[in-house]
Amino acid sequence: MARNPDADSAPAPKAVKTSTIEFDADKAKTFKVVGSRPPRPDGMDKVTGRARFGADMVMPGQLVGLILRSPHPHAVIVSIDTTAAEALSGVKSVITRDDFAENADHHDVLCNIMAREKALYEGHAIAAVAATSKAVARKALKLIKVDYQILPHVTDVDLAMAPDAPLLHADMITSGVTPAPTKPSNIAGRSEFGHGDVEAGFALADVIIERDFKTAATHQGYIEPHACVANVGADGMSELWCCTQGHFHVRQVCASLLGIDVSRLRVTASEIGGGFGGKTTVFIEPVALALSRKAGRPVKIAMSRDEVFKASGPTASSSMNVKIGVTKDGHITAGEGEFRYQGGAFAGAPADFGAMSAFACYALDNVKTVAYDVVTNRPKGAAYRAPGAPMSVYAVESVIAELAGEIGMDPIELRLKNAAREGTKSSYGPKFGSCGLVETLEAARDHPHYSAPLGPNQGRGVASGFWFNFGGETCSTLNINADGTVAIAVGTPDIGGSRAAMCIMAAEELGIPYERVRTIVADTSSLGYNDTTEGSRVTFSSGMAVIKASRKAVTEMCNRAAMIWDIPAEAVTWEDGHAKPSGANAGEFEPMSLAEIAATASKTGGPIAGHHEYNADGAGVSFGTHIVDTEVDPETGRVDILRYTVVQDAGKAIHPDYVEGQFQGGAVQGIGWALNEEYIYGEDGRLQNAGFLDYRMPVASDLPMIDTVIVEVPNPGHPYGVRGVGETGIVPPLAAIANGVSAAAGVRLTELPMSPPRVLKAIDDAKVAAQ
Amino acid sequence: MSGIHVSTKINGDAVEFVCDVEETLLDVLRDKLGMTGSKEGCASGDCGACSVTVDGRLTCSCLMLGAEAEGHDIGTIEGIAKGTQLHPIQQKILDHAALQCGVCTPGFVVAAKALLEKNPDPTETEVRFWLAGNLCRCTGYDKIIRAVMDAAAEMRGQ
């Protein structure tokens, strides 16, 4: 599950050691490296095939691990007989639920990575083998006998909430309801957000629109399947290589599930072939470790694409109602919504994030949102880019567009009249600090795209979106090398070019060229704990740690120069990569460069380094506004995306290429979600499209160029003004495209994906209704 | 299980290997020959991360058996740069920041090179359709298309 992205409203007590460095407007005027677009440090390895991803590691004596998965969406596991598999030549270990002790801290994770009493979804892991070859491992899986008692299943969120629905967990009592229900259900939790009096607000409205919406479950769709190599020594000392967004989190969960000390497990994050939230938890890693422990040899597990679809963590499907009232002159008087998300077989659907972010773009006197977290017989969901927000914002922004049409107001104008801004009490509680929604709306309104002419069967859609952004536990070390180069270690896996951003920020602070700085992602034994790469936190949090570590190294370099010059340390300043004497009594000395100070470090006190550890606050929210032109073929219902523009507040773009890349990638994932992508279940509860042919992600020929506008409203909680940019980009597209398609088709679409049959049916139904 | 002896050429070098009948060329490249630049994203020919050329023709190595490499000339990502000298497509992908995670990048490089060898002056639409067999989930394709167009222009001497 994603971390709570909003440090201010986190239920946990505030960490003692938090820190921020406030935005420094003067420094921002003199940036030399920040804002440039140098090549990324890992680029050469990635264009030549040299970069090593999860499945690219080989350890001596390595075995192949495979997992046996349930063919049934819901069944009691009566018995598992592994005798024949264990007897097969070449099989070195077989494990089942009996090889993991019960674990109160990670109960759901344990039940998900290896089924206990019941299989809860098609693809749920039942047993695993490690063998000398894939062929032997495959044969061994076939020899495992599992006796299932098949149970009725449910995969739809509304059906799962019905009183007579098949029950997944006999002990699931809905949280957040007073008094607590006496009977178990599939509703894991209810939560509510808002303020004011919505009924009083609706009484003031001239126009009220209420609509029901549905969205299908989608998958993050990272191109690299989950893969890992585990190696447990006879003394219990263990190493794990895996593709993950958070190797420190992997270490903690795996150590707990295996019952070993954290210090006995070293986790190295490989290059990661996409994550988008889907690689923030564990699936195969504890299994590989348990197989390796039993076999006494390294074990590699690499998921197939079929396994990725069926047994990793897609996002929630949703069923929602939204009601908004507005006066004739465009004042929103009240907004209300109910958001029902199913997140698979265990609690944790991001319905609460959906309810919190649904109305975040608006300054409302009266707002109320209710979230239901529901379990079904589907794989347990994981985070997916701004988890929960795209669906709820799709519903709200669809109604906003319809209201604008009803009162005859430009939809950007309606949004500007009601936009959240600094000081607004947000729909989920806290007051917003400095933020850039108004600026994105104004930039969208003034963009040539917004006033370009449209042809027949074409429609333009606009939507805004929001994400909280997150800080979190972070540390970084910066070493000044003897040759004047700089080595940085961070603990946050780089999923989109963040190593380049770290190098830029250090070069800026130290006053040296970008090319002299290198950043690596250190393993869990080489650096202190770091939270996972999630919540759009890395350039903000690890970046600030790098800035602070740089400043500590600068202080030390000034001390060394002072020692050499035999003057007080206070009389030395750092400027353009050099220590310089300053002040009346400092004396006359030639400035010493970083390289000169580094070269003599052995004589002035030894190696020079900077380190910073903290709990990052002040992440700063990010808003965006998207414009899209769509064309609908009235004969087939097919939708083409003709033109697309992303406008988003980045606070400050450290490396603009990769900020644009986040905007473009988020928008295109949103295009897929809006038009094509969906988990399709048969009546048998089995996934019918577990492959890239039938789960249709956007390809190059589906798309136009994705235009971007980077708005920079500095985040006051970061010295350079940085805001996270990774997630907001996927929030507006669902609604923007729905608004464009609805305009082009002449009928309001309220269910995603807007696949050709669904669009065609909506057009035909509208024709029938008009007759 | 008896293995099949295969003699082939990979990136210009004579290579021999023994593979099982069901092993794909991708399995052989990655697991037998240590050439892990070609990636397995789907094993069904839908993502293009395993793209190689067979006698110059763009092929998904996950859809071809290792045994079928006998007597053919295979080109992989590992053979595209000449020492430290990048191919213009590789250089332009770096210049345009046309990668984020980079796992699809080898497949795009191989596919784009095959395109430009057939069609040195493609339109944007032609590039988009040729590369429609390569999935990228990070970039939205924008910068990749620009990089390939730019590489084509440079290779034409423009």
User: A16 — contact with chain B (CB < 8 Å)?
Assistant: no
* DSSP 3-state percent helix, strand, coil across chain A (nearest 5): 30, 25, 45
Contact check, Cβ <8 Å, A222/B141: no
User: A495 — contact with chain B (CB < 8 Å)?
Assistant: yes
Q: A174 vs chain B: nearest CA distance in angstroms?
A: 36
pLDDT given at position A21 = 76
Nearest to B94 among A47, A660, A691 (CB): A47
User: Does residue B132 share a domain with residue B93?
Assistant: yes
Residue A424 in tokens: 């607004």
User: A222 — contact with chain B (CB < 8 Å)?
Assistant: yes
Q: B91 vs chain A: nearest CA distance in angstroms?
A: 8
User: Does residue B70 share a domain with residue B8?
Assistant: yes
Q: B103 vs chain A: nearest CA distance in angstroms?
A: 5
Domain covering A54-151+224-273+279-311: architecture: Alpha-Beta Complex (3.90)
Choose among A507, A516, A576: nearest CA to A543. Answer: A507
Size of interface A-B (CB pairs under 8 A): 188
**CA of residue A160 relative to chain centroid, distance:** 26
Q: B135 vs chain A: nearest CA distance in angstroms?
A: 6
Q: Which residues of B touch A305 (CB under 8 A)?
A: 41-44, 47
User: Does residue B51 share a domain with residue B29?
Assistant: yes
Contact check, Cβ <8 Å, B94/A272: no
User: Does residue B101 share a domain with residue B74?
Assistant: no
The answer to whether A529 and A491 have CB atoms below 8 angstroms apart is yes
User: A669 — contact with chain B (CB < 8 Å)?
Assistant: yes
Nearest CA in chain A to B83: A48
Nearest CA in chain B to A53: B103
Considering B46, B79, B112, which residue would you say is the last residue of a domain?
B79
Q: B71 vs chain A: nearest CA distance in angstroms?
A: 25
User: Does residue B61 share a domain with residue B22?
Assistant: yes
The answer to whether A658 and A638 have CB atoms below 8 angstroms apart is no
Residue whose pair of structure tokens reads 């070195």 in the numeric block: A92
User: Does residue B75 share a domain with residue B126?
Assistant: no
Total count of domains within chain B: 2
| HSE (side-chain half, CA atoms, 13 Å) at A111 | 20
Cβ-proximal residues to A287 (8 Å cutoff; 6+ apart), any chain = A65, A67, A95, A113, A114, A125, A128, A301
Distance from C-alpha of A140 to C-alpha of A36, rounded to nearest angstrom:
55
Contact check, Cβ <8 Å, B49/A223: yes
Per residue, the 3-state secondary structure of A37-89, as one string, reads: CCCCCCHHHHHHCCCCEHHHCCCCCCEEEEEEECCCCCEEEEEEECHHHHHCC
Contact check, Cβ <8 Å, A40/B94: yes
Successive 10-residue mean pLDDT values, chain A, 771 residues: 37 48 86 97 97 98 98 98 98 98 96 98 98 97 98 98 97 97 98 98 98 98 98 96 98 97 97 98 98 98 98 98 98 98 98 98 98 98 98 98 98 98 97 97 98 98 97 97 98 96 98 98 98 96 97 98 95 96 84 97 97 94 98 97 98 98 98 98 98 98 98 96 97 98 97 98 94 86
Asked: is A317-469+620-770 a CATH 3.30.365.10 domain? The reply is yes
CB burial readout A508-540, b (16+ within 10 A) else e: bbbbbebebbbbbbbbbeebeebbbbbbbbbbb
Nearest to B132 among A37, A220, A700 (CB): A700
pLDDT in tens, B97-130: 999 999 999 999 999 999 999 999 999 999 999 9
Mean pLDDT of B138-152: 98
Cβ-proximal residues to B150 (8 Å cutoff; 6+ apart), any chain = B92, B95, B96
pLDDT given at position A19 = 59
User: A40 — contact with chain B (CB < 8 Å)?
Assistant: yes
Q: Which residues of A touch B46 (CB under 8 A)?
A: 691-693
Considering B52, B79, B106, which residue would you say is the last residue of a domain?
B79
pLDDT given at position A7 = 35
Through-space distance between the first and last CA atoms of chain A, rounded to whole angstroms = 49
User: A307 — contact with chain B (CB < 8 Å)?
Assistant: no
Give the Å distances, CA to CA, from A636 to A215, A632, A642, B61.
21, 8, 17, 35
pLDDT in tens, A571-613: 999 999 999 999 777 788 999 999 999 999 999 999 999 999 9
Residue whose pair of structure tokens reads 């995670």 in the numeric block: B101
The segment(s) of chain A belonging to CATH 3.30.365.10 are: 7-30+471-616, 317-469+620-770
Q: B49 vs chain A: nearest CA distance in angstroms?
A: 8
CATH for B16: 3.10.20.30
Distance from C-alpha of A660 to C-alpha of A665, rounded to nearest angstrom:
8
DSSP H or E run through A596: helix A594-599
User: Does residue B48 share a domain with residue B30?
Assistant: yes
CA-angle at B132, arms to B128 and B134, nearest 5°: 120
pLDDT given at position A5 = 37
Give the Å distances, CA to CA, from A265 to A226, A450, A526.
19, 54, 12
Q: Which residues numbered 134-153 in A keep a CB inside 8 Å of some CB on B?
A: 135
pLDDT in tens, B13-70: 999 999 999 999 999 999 999 999 999 999 999 999 999 999 999 999 999 999 999 9
The answer to whether A383 and A2 have CB atoms below 8 angstroms apart is yes
Domain covering A7-30+471-616: architecture: 2-Layer Sandwich (3.30)
What one-character-per-residue DSSP string does A326-371 give? E-TTS-EEEEEEEEEEE-SSSS--THHHHHHHTTTTB--SSEEEEE
**Residue A621: CB atoms within 10 Å:** 27
Nearest to B135 among A52, A223, A660 (CB): A223
pLDDT given at position A14 = 42
Nearest to B46 among A271, A693, A698 (CB): A693
Q: A38 vs chain B: nearest CA distance in angstroms?
A: 8
Residue A543 in tokens: 């970046």
CATH for B115: 1.10.150.120
**CA of residue A591 relative to chain centroid, distance:** 46
Distance from C-alpha of B56 to C-alpha of B113, rounded to nearest angstrom:
10
**Residue A323: CB atoms within 10 Å:** 18
Q: Which residues numbered 255-274 in A keep a CB inside 8 Å of some CB on B?
A: 271-274
User: Does residue B74 share a domain with residue B40?
Assistant: yes
Nearest CA in chain A to B125: A701
Q: Which residues of B touch A699 (CB under 8 A)?
A: 131-135, 141
DSSP H or E run through A710: strand A706-711
Nearest to A667 among B46, B86, B140 (CB): B140
**CA of residue A396 relative to chain centroid, distance:** 22
User: Between the CA atoms of A278, A284, A285 and A290, what dihedral angle is there, to the nearest 10 degrees?
Assistant: 160
Contact check, Cβ <8 Å, B97/A276: no
User: A657 — contact with chain B (CB < 8 Å)?
Assistant: yes
**Domain membership of residue B109 as a residue range:** 88-155
Contact check, Cβ <8 Å, A705/B142: yes
pLDDT given at position A623 = 98
Distance from C-alpha of A455 to C-alpha of B20, rounded to nearest angstrom:
57
Instruction: Give me Rg for the CA atoms of chain B.
Output: 16
Residue B48 in tokens: 């293009």
User: A695 — contact with chain B (CB < 8 Å)?
Assistant: no
The answer to whether A493 and A31 have CB atoms below 8 angstroms apart is no
Distance from C-alpha of A220 to C-alpha of A547, rounded to nearest angstrom:
32
**CA of residue A114 relative to chain centroid, distance:** 25
Cβ-proximal residues to A693 (8 Å cutoff; 6+ apart), any chain = B44, B46
Choose among A617, A618, A610: nearest CA to A476. Answer: A610
Contact check, Cβ <8 Å, B43/A692: no
Name residue A319's beta-bridge partners: A214, A340
**Residue A557: CB atoms within 10 Å:** 27
User: A622 — contact with chain B (CB < 8 Å)?
Assistant: no
DSSP H or E run through A708: strand A706-711
Nearest CA in chain B to A45: B102
Contact check, Cβ <8 Å, A697/B37: no
Contact check, Cβ <8 Å, A271/B103: yes
Considering B44, B79, B114, which residue would you say is the last residue of a domain?
B79
Distance from C-alpha of A720 to C-alpha of A23, rounded to nearest angstrom:
6
Nearest to A271 among B102, B129, B131 (CB): B102
Distance from C-alpha of B143 to C-alpha of A37, rounded to nearest angstrom:
14
